[in-house]
Amino acid sequence: MASFIPDSSVVSDVRFSPNFNERKGGRQPDMIVLHYTGMSDAESALTRLTGAGTDVSAHYVVLEDGGIVQCVPEALRAWHAGQSAWAGETDINSASIGIEIVNRGHDFGYQDFPLRQVAAVIALCKGIMLRRKVPKHRVLAHSDVAPARKKDPGEKFPWHLLAHSGVGHWVEPSPIVPGDRNRMLGATGEAVMALQRGLANFGYGVLPSGQYDGATMDAVSAFQRHFRPKLVDGIADHSTLTTLQRLLETLPKAANAA
């Protein structure tokens, strides 16, 4: 299969990647995971994503000018999420469509995402959501499903713009209160347990232990990058806690039950 017909009408080019396999157990994707490429330029990223032996790929790459390249058919399992988990699932590659957004990332001069690129991401996601019946709350960041390893697409990605177009679950973040830093690494107790339960109920791979450990801090940081991006510090302050609570309250009932 050196080429294929694009799944989406907004695709401008096809660059076939040999890095894929079948979705395990016939799993149908009901999740979208957004990434940034984290490389110096688009061509370097495409070369890596479509190169034999790199063991990495994505279904789509969204260029800075809004062009969209498809590399793997949606029916197949692209290799974009790595070791990851969400809402009790650990094979996120089988469960998801992976979208790489061209951006140099935190290691190469992290920049703002151009509006035409964001508009292309929105158009692409809306089509996938319709075709694949992806719920809004299952449009996620790579950092959500792999908080200990990943930061992408990062705190500069405008999730609020996506949500205003019907892509992703979002509430306006609660205001940050200066000096409110009362739940830090090493803390213990019922308040920490309640935080961990809230994160786990939302989908993060956190085990409620009552100990504010490194895994909890990673999950809080990932949550902040996505839902409270003005301050990413891994500290569950009042703003973080109330934003999480409001998101939980506005989840669909079926998702809360899960």
Q: Which residues are catalytic?
A: 100
On the 0-12 / 13-18 / 19+ scale of CB atoms within 10 A, 77 is: buried
Which amino acid is residue 62, in one-letter code?
V
Cβ partners under 8 Å of residue 236, min gap 6: 183, 195, 212, 220
Tokens of 166: 């019907």
Q: Tell me how far apart the alpha carbons of residues 209 and 206 are, in angstroms, rounded to a whole number.
A: 9
Cα–Cα distance for residue pair 250/258, rounded to 1 Å: 14
Tokens 């000096």 correspond to 179
CA 2 to chain centre: 29
Q: Are 8 and 124 in contact (CB under 8 A)?
A: yes
Residue 9, token pair as written in the block: 């009408």
